[in-house]
Structure 1
């Protein structure tokens, strides 16, 4: 198949096969392109869709961007099962195999350093939400509806009381999230704090007070997950969500960009697609 070369990730050579029937962007199966002691994971993509000019238009199309990012993520997820990949930016393309090899050669030292740092590690995501609709449900009994205000003064008093209750819950949630992050960061090799999730974009219920990523050894991941699970019922009205294991997107430095799949993990806005545009390289 002719076309441009789409690069998903760089990794060290590995022997385990990728899952059968795996396809990537443009429904083309990924293949391994070795160069020295590095391997680029690539597939063919049509120039009509991935030339620099075509990409400029496509990256403004949310449906196209989402489908491409999910196909990209599918390959990276498959790699994460068998090795430690260093994901590259969404829509990193080259004219041919020689262009990919040249890129590997020029960035060899940086790739090696990052792969050594990430070796044997995965990323786990943890979010903490305040569930404001459960503010009144601190006990086992269902909350009773507030009595109908008899006057404007009663109405304002009820509003102030509810506001204070919500503020107390948010304060407790922020304290809980801070303590949880400190504890989890102490068990991880590295940690990153991301911007709080915008509920209008994510559709997630509640107010996000912690949106963090943790770099954790595969060997200790089970203990890390159990540590998160033990906190989930510690605070009424507060929800803890755990996602992963992922490739270490948050810890790959400048080699990776924030694509749609990464935004789904961290809840960031999809309106920054211009950052993903690497375009065609020769």
Structure 2
């Protein structure tokens, strides 16, 4: 290749790099299965997924799982608007999650949050090299473990039933009696929820390696039929204990009709991953 052609190719590569940001999904270690897996994997906005590996001789054998995304589509101003777009957010989160779960089926991964961005590969590599030993330690801690979620919902108090009083009550008195009955039923459901939480804590001590308590869910994403979410916990479970853990959690609410229990997973260990080092990228 002639010198002008070489210079032109270098300029084109520089222009392409300047037009993109580096989107990071997760940290992972060496895994031969990824060589065949990544070429057919699409990430956010349909972008190809690749590995960003530090130079030979780095402190720890870890890599970023990345995509190159259009800089104009991921600026701070654009993201601020798009995070208000439920449809875009759902599609992007689904693509992000798909990449991580596909990787997790073949190797240990340290998931990173949605829209973890670096200015370019060089900045991402710098962060990877600086945090390499810490990332490697976290991957070693998570190896052979899977995340499960446990949620407890208090069911709405049903209208009171039973034999009516022999003497009809006045409308005002009947209203107060019904209100009191609903209040008593709701308090009983809360007591059942506390009992369920105590049982889950006991199961966690026996079967899990780590526990994270997330805020209870509320708002439009929680359907009214679910009742009130009062417990939203994540557990890091050794794979050897997963079956016993699921069975134990599944029996928690068998005698507690006032609550609903939801067990989710297995998941990649989102709740047990540390935040990546900061970068001034949008």
TM-score by length of 2: 0.80
1:123 aligns with 2:142: no
1:189 aligns with 2:189: no
Residues 100, 253 of structure 1: alpha-carbon distance in 2 compared, 3 angstrom cutoff = closer
What residue is the counterpart of 1:66 in the other structure?
90
Tell whether the 8 Å contact from 2:118 to 2:279 is kept in structure 1 after alignment.
Answer: no
**1:100-157 Cα shifts (integer Å, max 9, x gaps):** 2111111112212222221221110000112125586xxxxxx669788543122212
Structure 1 residue runs without a partner (length 5+): 137-142, 257-276
SS in 2 for 1:82: coil
Return the structure number with greater relative CO, CA threshold 8 A, min gap 6.
1
What residue is the counterpart of 1:140 in the other structure?
none
1:16 aligns with 2:16: no
Moved more, 51-60 or 224-233: 51-60
Tell whether the 8 Å contact from 2:152 to 2:232 is kept in structure 1 after alignment.
Answer: yes
What residue is the counterpart of 2:128 in the other structure?
104
1:180 aligns with 2:200: yes
Tell whether the 8 Å contact from 2:211 to 2:236 is kept in structure 1 after alignment.
Answer: yes
Distance 2:32 2:108 in 1: 13
SS in 1 for 2:233: strand
What residue is the counterpart of 1:270 in the other structure?
none
Residues 19, 99 of structure 1: alpha-carbon distance in 2 compared, 3 angstrom cutoff = closer
Tell whether the 8 Å contact from 1:10 to 1:87 is kept in structure 2 after alignment.
Answer: yes
Q: RMSD in angstroms over aligned alpha carbons?
A: 2.8
Q: CA deviation at 1:45?
A: 0.9
Structure 2 residue runs without a partner (length 5+): 1-12
Q: CA deviation at 1:249?
A: 1.5
SS in 2 for 1:89: strand
The structure with the larger Rg is 2
What residue is the counterpart of 1:86 in the other structure?
110
